[in-house]
Structure 1
Amino acid sequence: MSPLFRLLWFNLFICVNTEERGFRVKLDEFSVRYKVRDLIEHIDFRIAQINNRSYVNGEMTLKCVVRDIDMHTTMDFWKANNQNKIKLYDVRLDACEFLRTAHRNGLFNIYVKSFKKHTKADLNCPLKTNYNYSLRNWHMNEKDLPPYVPFGKFRTITEYFTQQRLALRIVTQGKVVINK
């Protein structure tokens, strides 16, 4: 099955549902590394495991206005008891455009809505100088995902570029487990 077909299939079945899900998304890693020292004043993100849920908290302050942001993001998935990697997506795009049009892609819409729900920041371009971009108690709400998501492990790598320089790299690893 092609990666594009899998992504389209996943998007077709995304729905908001109020029933309890039989799975939980658990994060094992959320690491943020910045490469451009003259861009970022302060950055700190961490995971907390509370009541069988993973929460990400953190903040970032920029030293200067950022007008152009390109993004390269990938997501790989390994089903439980299977060594074969499935690439769910591998895309390069303009991050500012992405923030404006994420609603057009079901999977990315889930992420953007989730981030906006857990941040007090204005997630629009240009990014502001000396503004505290903070994320509080961010987690993947299973009710925002399709009713069935296979158990397994996943890894996302998202890189942000400005002025054709790698500025920030975020690696997220986790798993989809039985909801207990």
Structure 2
Amino acid sequence: MKTSYLICGLYVLMDLASSDKRTFRVFFDEFAIKYKVPDIFEKMDCHLAQVNNRSYVNAEMILKRDVGDLNVRAVMEFWKPNAQTKMKLYDVRVDGCLLLRSIHQNKLFNFYVKSFKKHANVILTCPFKANYTYKMVDWFLDENDLPPFVPVGKFRTVTEYFTQQRLAIRIVAHGEVLAKP
């Protein structure tokens, strides 16, 4: 009997947590391509826009050749206001093709992958095709997809994509988790 009360209580708490209004918002002040290999990319553009207190990213990519192997290194650092010490939330190296097919163990990193998939013009799978326009339209971090209690602070991510053991592209994002007024 006590077990059933506990289970019911957990469901109520999970429901309350998922319906909580978020008291924070995510703001990007940088989302940029810092490096790309010209013999792989026909086009690679990325644009960050601020609209109605939200950061949106639009990106477009056309490859010169098929890319069947993709490895990813992603690092995210976070630091609270008035703190000099950075915390590393993750530093992972993964097979990018496998990651697109499965769920990753790091929930925060997995959140990014799911978020990118929601805003892409195609289901992202390997191999990536040459002469096809891949787009990410109005991508943003939806606070409701994050846990209800995210601390205020600054973050920086560096995501590097490798193909044939060669760095192909580096994307750097910097921003803040801000308290909603």
TM-score bin (small chain)? 0.7 to 0.9
Tell me what 2:5 maps to: none
Deviation at 1:33, TM superposition (A): 3.2
Tell me what 2:23 maps to: 22
2:36 is the alignment partner of 1:35: yes
Map 1:82-161; keep pairs closer than 5 Å: 82-102=83-103, 104-161=105-162
Aligned CA RMSD, in angstroms, stands at 1.7
Deviation at 1:16, TM superposition (A): 7.5
Deviation at 1:109, TM superposition (A): 2.3
What residue ranges of structure 2 are gaps of 5+ in the alignment?
Answer: 1-13
Please give the alpha-carbon distance, in whole angstroms, between the structure 1 residues aligned to 2:22 and 2:81: 18
Q: TM-score, normalised by structure 1?
A: 0.87
Q: Over residues 50-101 of structure 1, what are the superposed CA-to-partner deviations in whole Å (9 max), with x where a residue is unaligned?
A: 0110000110100100011111110000111211110011111111111112
Q: Over residues 131-163 of structure 1, what are the superposed CA-to-partner deviations in whole Å (9 max), with x where a residue is unaligned?
A: 111011101000000110110000000101111
Give 3-state SS (helix, strand or coil) of 2:103's partner: helix
Give 3-state SS (helix, strand or coil) of 1:108's partner: helix
Give 3-state SS (helix, strand or coil) of 2:171's partner: strand
Please give the alpha-carbon distance, in whole angstroms, between the structure 2 residues aligned to 1:63 and 1:18: 45
Larger-Rg structure: 2
Indicate the larger mover: 33-42 or 43-52: 33-42
Please give the alpha-carbon distance, in whole angstroms, between the structure 2 residues aligned to 1:34 and 1:80: 29
User: Aligned residue pairs: how many?
Assistant: 167
Deviation at 1:117, TM superposition (A): 1.1
Please give the alpha-carbon distance, in whole angstroms, between the structure 1 residues aligned to 2:123 and 2:130: 12
Q: Which amino acid aligns with 1:87?
A: K
Q: Which runs of 4+ in 1 moved over 3 A?
A: none
Tell me what 1:66 maps to: 67
C-alpha distance 137-37 of structure 1, shift in aligned 2 (>3 A):
same
Q: Which amino acid aligns with 1:171?
A: V
Q: TM-score, normalised by structure 2?
A: 0.87
Please give the alpha-carbon distance, in whole angstroms, between the structure 1 residues aligned to 2:168 and 2:17: 34
Give 3-state SS (helix, strand or coil) of 1:17's partner: helix
Tell me what 2:4 maps to: none
